[in-house]
Amino acid sequence: RKEVEQDPGPFNVPEGATVAFNCTYSNSASQSFFWYRQDCRKEPKLLMSVYSSGNEDGRFTAQLNRASQYISLLIRDSKLSDSATYLCVVNAGSYIPTFGRGTSLIVHP
């Protein structure tokens, strides 16, 4: 089993739709969790950290489920500009982040 697993997609959704991605991790000692966004041929950029209590930033909501070892990202009211690859990142404490393969999102008019 891979350390961090994501459905690669693509998720193809119309503008205004709500879409959710999940990411599972295998290391129960993982301490920090993040969602990064990567546009084509660009470096990944932090979208949001994922806290145990869950967190929300505008149209984006991240949740952590330690018992089932997964994190989720919910995007409401999708915009065309949300089209990108969303990377799940897990850090087990040594600060060598482990990346998921990424989930591709395509938002169409």
Interface residue list for other proteins (CB under 8 A): 8, 31-32, 34, 36, 41-46, 49, 87, 89, 91, 95-102
CB atoms within 10 A of CB 30: 19
Q: Which is nearer to other proteins, 51 or 79 (CB)?
A: 51
Using the CB atoms, write b or e for 78-101: b if 16+ within 10 Å: beeebbbbbbbbbebeeeebbbbb
What minimum distance in Å lies between the beta carbon of 24 and other proteins? 14
What minimum distance in Å lies between the beta carbon of 18 and other proteins? 25
Q: What CA dihedral angle connects 106, 68, 65 and 88, to 10 degrees? A: -40
Q: Which is nearer to other proteins, 54 or 97 (CB)?
A: 97
Q: Which is nearer to other proteins, 46 or 77 (CB)?
A: 46
Cβ–Cβ < 8 Å for 87, 97: no
Q: Which is nearer to other proteins, 18 or 46 (CB)?
A: 46
CB atoms within 10 A of CB 41: 5
What minimum distance in Å lies between the beta carbon of 56 and other proteins? 19
What minimum distance in Å lies between the beta carbon of 82 and other proteins? 19
